[in-house]
Amino acid sequence: MGNDYPEDYDFYPEDDGPEFADPGGNSALRAASDSNPRNRPCPTCGGEDLLTPADVARGYQCDGCADRAERGGF
């Protein structure tokens, strides 16, 4: 199974899929789709339509907020 972590399968919905919004980039956000639209606000900055339901389920914030937090910008 390589880099798969089976213990994660119980926590995250299977239909969420592993697709990232920016494959190979520094974003952990999931790709938007018909079943996973980018229609949720960021819990940190309040920006609208920045996250998908899959991102929210994982407790993520938008890329801008994540970048600032990682660089000590908050």
The two three-digit tokens of residue 54, written as one number: 């899959």
| Three-state helix/strand/coil letters over 7-56 | HHCCCCCHHHCCCECCCCCCCCCECCECCECCCECCCCCCCCCCECHHHH
- pLDDT for the residue numbered 29: 96
Instruction: Provide the phi-psi class of 37: left if phi over 0, else alpha when psi is between -120 and 50, else beta.
Output: beta
- pLDDT for the residue numbered 72: 84
- pLDDT for the residue numbered 16: 47
Give tens-digit pLDDT for 1-59.
455 555 544 555 544 455 999 998 999 999 999 999 999 999 999 999 999 999 999 99
Residue type, 54: A
Domain boundaries, the chain: 41-74
- Distances from the Cα of 57 to the Cα of 72, 73, 74, angstroms: 24, 24, 23
Q: What is the pTM of this model?
A: 0.73
